[in-house]
Amino acid sequence: MLGALALLGFASRTIPNPAFTKAVYSGPLEFKASNAFDKTRILSKSFPDRFTWSTPRKNAALWLKEELRKLGYVPHSQLFEETIAGKKYTDLENIFAEKPGTEFPEKKIVIAAHYDVAEGTHEGAMDDASGVGIILELARILSQVPLRHSLVFLFTDSEEYGNFWGARAFVNQHKAEIIAALTLDFIAPGHQTGILQLGDGIRKGFAPLWLRELALASLNKIAGTGEKVTELTGLGELVQRALLLPAADHGAFLEAGIPAINWVGQTDDFNTVMTEIHHTTKDVMERLEVDSFALPGRAAETLIYSIDANPDLRSQSELSMMSYWKISESRYFSPTIASIFAALLFIPFFVRVYQRARIEFQKAANTNFKSVLYFEALRYTQVSLALLAGYAALLLFPGIGILTRYEQFPGTQKTPLLYSPDLLVIVLLLAAGLAVYGLLRRLVKHPEPSTFSLETVYVFYSAVQAIITLIALLANSYMAILVLLFPAYSWSFVSVHKSRSVNLILLALGWASFLTVLIYMTTIFHLGVWYWFLILSASYGLVSPIAAILFLLTVALLIRIATRLLANRSFAR
Ligand SMILES: [Zn+2]
């Protein structure tokens, strides 16, 4: 543990901030906030209720094409399919225009915003007519400016449902050509105090340092006094990298390995904005201020010029990697150091498990060690299989109509589905699990050893925990830290030398960190009832199978240790 902390000081590297500051474009800017504001107003007021499947959305698409035509572009439309709430739609539509580059026409910079709105929203002025307004103004000012790289102005559909299905459809077709993407979702209502930059992918991917730093430098160059440019680093980035649940279209680009970031307007009371305005009928034009468009608009203009002028920056290997960990504003861990750091955090745990196992193994001759191990392994396997059967059932539910079918995620924040746990689904899940457990108990009968050392049992489960932790570290070390670090240092201390209540407290403590993050996240992001969100995420595939399986194996561990603790059986040494 101390080693891990010492590593923080020695092994981190300095981000070459001056290089980025130098690379930022500093010529004249043309972006007019009032123009972006006016376009935002037209989309908000003339095309309200533009839900992805609706006629207003289709009319908005026609308007966008007309706007692009007026600016001299050839608008393209990309149709795609998606299942939303059990219904299949085949006419969802991305709109985009391309401006060919003079030197690298095959390499594209994408600037995107979504033009659909979430159900429950009416105008969707902030989310995300504001982003569309900024892009239309950028399309206007850049139409005659020669750029070395091609530039794509993209208006995505279905950002709010299916986890960025429109952006994904676009990425699927154009993956090979895109060198960077900036998504603008969204301008904050009221007095905007700055921009938060996000760079997390869906299930995988994270913005490489070159884009992150160039974008921050662009924002900082434009930000006036009283405007703050922020990002999550350190612990915040650890949580982001552990969960990989992005809030906007940038996540779809990153998932495909394309460098991308998203800019979100901030206010002094952002939580109130997210609770009372975002994804409600209160998200109206009257709440937006013209001045708020200046920072993201002018910074986007700056960033586009900066990316265009510095192809060498993004080709530097370490700056172009997606796996690293920015631990502070100016320092980062390389991928190797980040992995070593994660491993070091767990080393005392592995050592402790090994020592306990060795001591117990030496005593093995005196006890019925083998039959205890066999019995516990059998029970643990039975519980695990029962939980995995529940997971398998959950994957089947949308297909057979027990759970409403959505693509990947029942978007979006505040969707009623997220807040109404389906009792039938939960009962069926429990029934599937219990049925499989009962069946397995009948199929493989094995008498419980009459006398045994509880310490052997605890040591066995610590060893299982060590194996799960090791696999998790290899799969996603950030996830391992977030979900398994606390259990590592509390569950492995459950022993016969402590009272039952102390042991129970240790068991509960281990899960506390993860549950806290989960409940906090579902609350502030308005993702519904936490356990229901977990069930839906697993069912629609938002959570990767490996993460889901490791999670269930850990739950099985919790169930078995708790069962042993609560059984309060006499034991013999
Ligand atoms: Zn949005």
Question: What was the pLDDT predicted at 361?
Answer: 85
Between the CA of 411 and the centroid of ligand 1 the distance, in Å, is 11
What DSSP state is assigned to residue 257? T
Return the structure tokens found at 215: 């974008």
Between the CA of 117 and the centroid of ligand 1 the distance, in Å, is 7
Among 300, 264, 118, residue whose Cα is nearest residue 185:
264
* pLDDT tens for each residue of 427-449: 999 999 999 999 999 998 888 88
Q: Average the pLDDT over 524-538 and give the result.
A: 91
Between the CA of 168 and the centroid of ligand 1 the distance, in Å, is 15
The three-state secondary structure class of 24 is: coil
Question: What was the pLDDT predicted at 7?
Answer: 66
* pLDDT tens for each residue of 278-296: 999 999 999 999 999 999 9
Return the structure tokens found at 460: 């066995």
Between the CA of 108 and the centroid of ligand 1 the distance, in Å, is 23
CA distance 249 to 252: 6
Residue 517, C-beta contacts closer than 8 angstroms, at least 6 positions apart: 239, 243, 482
Between the CA of 186 and the centroid of ligand 1 the distance, in Å, is 6
* pLDDT tens for each residue of 75-116: 999 999 998 888 999 999 999 999 999 999 999 999 999 999
Between the CA of 546 and the centroid of ligand 1 the distance, in Å, is 29
Between the CA of 235 and the centroid of ligand 1 the distance, in Å, is 25
Share of the chain above pLDDT 90, in %: 79
* pLDDT tens for each residue of 356-387: 999 988 887 666 788 888 999 999 999 999 99
Confidence at 568, pLDDT banded by 50, 70, 90? low
Q: Are 305 and 142 in contact (CB under 8 A)?
A: no
The DSSP line for 145-164 is: S--SEEEEEEEES-STTTTT
* pLDDT tens for each residue of 136-192: 999 999 999 999 999 999 999 999 987 788 999 999 999 999 999 999 999 999 999
Question: What was the pLDDT predicted at 573?
Answer: 37
Between the CA of 158 and the centroid of ligand 1 the distance, in Å, is 10
Between the CA of 509 and the centroid of ligand 1 the distance, in Å, is 36
Between the CA of 93 and the centroid of ligand 1 the distance, in Å, is 16
Question: What was the pLDDT predicted at 36?
Answer: 98
Between the CA of 408 and the centroid of ligand 1 the distance, in Å, is 17
Between the CA of 115 and the centroid of ligand 1 the distance, in Å, is 9
Pairing of β 194-198 and β 13-14: unpaired
CA distance 520 to 512: 12
Strand order of the β-sheet with 13-14 is 13-14, 331-333, 325-326
Between the CA of 563 and the centroid of ligand 1 the distance, in Å, is 45
Question: What was the pLDDT predicted at 572?
Answer: 38
Between the CA of 97 and the centroid of ligand 1 the distance, in Å, is 20
Question: What was the pLDDT predicted at 194?
Answer: 97
Share of the chain above pLDDT 70, in %: 97
**Measured CA angle at 296 (ends 295, 299), to 5 deg:** 80
Q: Are 458 and 494 in contact (CB under 8 A)?
A: yes
Between the CA of 417 and the centroid of ligand 1 the distance, in Å, is 19
Q: H helices within 363-422, ranges in order? A: 369-396, 416-419
Between the CA of 434 and the centroid of ligand 1 the distance, in Å, is 41
Confidence at 342, pLDDT banded by 50, 70, 90? very high
